């Protein structure tokens, strides 16, 4: 078992449950009394606390943080993107995943990114409006506010509207990622005028003011769903997208629907993990990896053995991801089979402690392109013990790098998360087949893995951006939590990753010693050191035994905001 407690044994079952019924037995019995928020930007964290102080609950605050991130971290998520909001309600133990994933437009076709010779043309699936799915984020904000919040939408969106109107100074991450995507954005002068106000001469601290986005947010605040998906905003989005090669129709927007999904629930001894359901691959892959390592006497293993076994488990989970996973509303995903311990037993019979199994025994060998720190995650607990773990994205940094004129809505390029051609790797080197083929109205497969771990004493809330590496980062964070550590440790732990193809273990610089790397190589692993670290994990922990909250942001980036505060109990909801 991956824990230092030798009694921490067996009982590794992974099942899908009816959310309400199952979670009643782990409902927190006491309130934290304080609130904790960790997000990728201190202004977004402030927006969340502002809403809590105004009488909002965690779900209101989650809307405020999401909308603020859309303004101040446009490289990672936005009103033109989507995400998954995993939520746990304290009063009755109810948990749900709000799926605001983008959908393929009705005019999308399986060959839309292929040229006349049937060759995949990557630029089409990542740059400009043809790359964009129909946004889900604004519908999710409306849905969460209406069904779970205590405040009005206009209150929850007020901090974001203020930030868009007043502007914010760009940080190091924004500048670095614009260095990659700026060339593409400069093709569209109206978009570049917003996000690159001085052309390519962009420096930390330069101010980005977004009046069009403020007006779009105001229409959403005033009219709810219709304020974005119908009327002025919808018309401008469709007209602007299609003028530059998009295929959107007004009905694509009007027909968009948020879906609530039962989280993948994994019972791990005394811990209950709630994590992302399809169309995310995250929860299933996390369950598979934990199932695969479960029988090993973890404390007795060397560090090299642990990394080897985790890499072998990751390899198999990512193989299954590519073969089986996609939008559950379009194909039958064998969820129960994939997350069952019996299935893991079978897979484990192909694992050896002394040798790596080459992925080439199983499929072709695509290349992985440079990873980026797009996508964003925040973790949040309010004073009553309501919890939100949310991972949001526009896919690559600054999404499609295009905003339809007069909207300020930077479109996502989430269509690249579909398998554009069977076995063709996406921007993260991930391959896929029929279950994730492009179809009108379908949600593209994701790796986003917002996670909540409910224990009798400690509760962990965590997640991270990082494309294909999200899942393995979350697994490493969960294992660290099982080992008794808090969020400062989860977010800073050195990372390693295997994703089946390409067949290599990726390492952050300080993850292993030279000797450990040599040992892994002698077992047949290719080990690749990445100079740049990856991920941007944000975690909070509630220790119910001693009544404390902790919040931590990833030290790899400077702009994160993590704090624990007492919320003034005298606040009122107007």
Residues 561 and 206: their CA atoms lie apart, in Å, by: 20
Helix, strand, coil share (%) of the chain residues, nearest 5: 35, 20, 45
Tallying the residues shown for the chain, one arrives at 574
Instruction: Tell me which of 263, 278, 467, 477 binds ligand GLY, using CB under 6 A.
Output: 467
Residues 460 and 540: their CA atoms lie apart, in Å, by: 6
* E strand residue ranges, 305-348: none
Contact between residue 112 and residue 53 where contact means Cβ atoms under 8 Å apart: no
- 307 φ, ψ to 5°? -65, -40
Query: In this structure, is the dihedral angle defined by the CA atoms of residues 128, 276, 375 and 467, taken in order, positive or negative?
Result: negative
Burial of 485 (0-12, 13-18, 19+ CB in 10 A): middle
Which residue has the closest beta carbon to ligand GLY? 446
The token duo for 139 is 């519908």
Among 68, 71, 90, residue whose Cα is nearest residue 24: 90
Residue 326 C-beta: closest distance to ligand GLY, Å: 13
Residue 306 C-beta: closest distance to ligand GLY, Å: 26
- Please identify, using beta-carbon distances, which residue of 312 and 417 lies nearer to ligand GLY: 417
Residue 325 C-beta: closest distance to ligand GLY, Å: 11
233 is catalytic: no
Q: In what order do the strands lie in the sheet with 451-454?
A: 12-16, 264-268, 271-275, 451-454, 458-462, 538-543, 548-553
Residues 390 and 376: their CA atoms lie apart, in Å, by: 8
Burial of 190 (0-12, 13-18, 19+ CB in 10 A): middle
- Please identify, using beta-carbon distances, which residue of 138 and 465 lies nearer to ligand GLY: 465
**Cβ neighbours of residue 295 under 8 Å, at least 6 residues apart?**
1, 348
Residue 321 C-beta: closest distance to ligand GLY, Å: 11
- DSSP track, 218-263: HHHHHHTTHHHHSHHHHHHHHHHHHHTT----HHHHHT---EEEPP
Contact between residue 115 and residue 121 where contact means Cβ atoms under 8 Å apart: yes
- Please identify, using beta-carbon distances, which residue of 293 and 431 lies nearer to ligand GLY: 431
Q: If binding means CB under 6 A, how many residues of this protein chain bind ligand GLY?
A: 9
The 183-222 contact track toward ligand GLY, x by CB under 6 A, reads: ----------------------------------------
The 351-390 contact track toward ligand GLY, x by CB under 6 A, reads: ------------------------x---------------
- Please identify, using beta-carbon distances, which residue of 89 and 321 lies nearer to ligand GLY: 321
Q: How many CB atoms lie within 10 A of CB 537?
A: 30
Residues 283 and 459: their CA atoms lie apart, in Å, by: 18
- Please identify, using beta-carbon distances, which residue of 74 and 385 lies nearer to ligand GLY: 74
The 416-455 contact track toward ligand GLY, x by CB under 6 A, reads: -x----------------------------xxx-------
- Please identify, using beta-carbon distances, which residue of 191 and 464 lies nearer to ligand GLY: 464
CA atoms within 13 A on the CB side of 59: 24
Residues 521 and 515: their CA atoms lie apart, in Å, by: 10
The token duo for 151 is 């405040």
- Catalytic-labelled residue, pool 191, 375, 376, 407: 375
The reply to whether omega before 510 is within 30° of 0 (cis) is no
CA atoms within 13 A on the CB side of 183: 3
The token duo for 406 is 């007069």
The 400-419 contact track toward ligand GLY, x by CB under 6 A, reads: --------------x--x--
Tell me: does residue 393 bind ligand GLY (CB under 6 A).
Answer: yes
The token duo for 245 is 């090669």
Interaction residues for ligand GLY, span 30-69 (CB under 6 A): none
Residues that bind ligand GLY (CB under 6 A): 375, 393, 395, 414, 417, 446-448, 467
Which residue numbers are catalytic?
375
């Amino acid at each position: 078992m991956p824990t230092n407690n030798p009694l921490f044994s067996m009982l590794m079952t992974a099942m899908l449950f009816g959310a309400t019924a199952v979670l009643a037995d782990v409902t927190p019995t006491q309130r934290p009394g304080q609130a904790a928020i960790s997000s990728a930007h201190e202004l977004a964290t402030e927006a969340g606390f502002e809403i809590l102080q105004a009488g909002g609950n965690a779900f209101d605050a989650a809307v405020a943080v999401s909308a603020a991130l859309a303004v101040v971290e446009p490289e990672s998520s936005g009103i033109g993107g989507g995400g998954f909001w995993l939520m746990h309600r304290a009063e009755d133990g109810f948990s749900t995943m709000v799926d605001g994933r983008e959908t393929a437009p009705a005019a999308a076709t399986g060959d839309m990114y292929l040229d006349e010779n049937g060759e995949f043309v990557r630029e089409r699936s990542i740059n400009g409006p043809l790359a964009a799915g129909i946004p889900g984020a604004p519908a999710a904000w409306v849905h969460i506010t209406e069904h779970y919040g205590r405040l009005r939408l206009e209150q929850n969106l007020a901090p974001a509207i203020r930030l868009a109107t007043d502007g914010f100074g760009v940080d190091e991450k924004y500048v670095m990622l614009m260095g990659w995507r700026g060339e593409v954005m400069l093709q569209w002068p109206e978009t570049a005028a917003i996000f690159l106000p001085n052309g390519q001469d962009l420096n930390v601290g330069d101010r980005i003011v977004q009046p069009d986005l403020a007006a779009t947010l105001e229409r959403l605040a005033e009219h709810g769903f219709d304020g974005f998906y119908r009327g002025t905003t919808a018309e401008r989005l469709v007209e602007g997208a299609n003028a530059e090669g998009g295929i959107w129709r007004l009905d694509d927007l009007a027909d968009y629907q948020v879906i609530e999904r039962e989280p993948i629930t994994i019972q791990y001894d005394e811990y209950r993990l709630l994590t992302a359901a399809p169309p995310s691959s995250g929860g299933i892959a996390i369950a598979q990896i934990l199932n695969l390592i479960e029988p090993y006497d973890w404390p007795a293993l060397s560090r090299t053995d642990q990394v080897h076994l985790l890499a072998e488990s990751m390899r198999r989970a990512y193989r299954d991801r590519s073969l089986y996973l996609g939008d559950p509303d379009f194909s039958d995903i064998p969820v129960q089979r994939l997350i069952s311990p019996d299935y893991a037993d079978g897979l484990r019979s192909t694992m050896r402690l002394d040798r790596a199994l080459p992925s080439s025994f199983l499929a072709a060998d695509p290349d992985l392109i440079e990873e980026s720190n797009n996508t964003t995650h925040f973790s949040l607990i309010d004073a009553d013990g309501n919890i939100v773990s949310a991972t949001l994205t526009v896919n690559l940094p600054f999404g499609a790098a295009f905003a339809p004129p007069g909207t300020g809505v930077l479109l996502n390029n989430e269509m690249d998360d579909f398998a554009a051609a069977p076995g063709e790797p996406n921007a993260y080197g991930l391959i896929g087949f029929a279950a994730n083929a492009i179809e009108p109205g379908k949600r593209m497969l994701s790796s986003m893995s917002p996670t909540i771990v409910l224990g009798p004493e400690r509760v962990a809330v965590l997640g991270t951006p990082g494309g294909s590496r999200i899942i393995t980062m979350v697994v490493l964070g969960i294992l660290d939590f099982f080992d008794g550590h808090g969020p400062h440790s989860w977010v800073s732990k050195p990372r390693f990753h295997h994703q089946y193809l390409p067949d290599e273990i990726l390492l952050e610089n300080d993850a292993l010693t030279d000797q450990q790397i040599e040992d892994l190589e002698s077992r047949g692993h290719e080990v690749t050191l990445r100079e740049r670290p990856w991920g941007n994990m944000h975690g909070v922990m509630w220790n119910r035994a001693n009544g404390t909250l902790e919040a931590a942001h990833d030290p790899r980036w400077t702009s994160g905001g993590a704090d624990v505060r007492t919320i003034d109990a005298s606040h009122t909801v107007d």
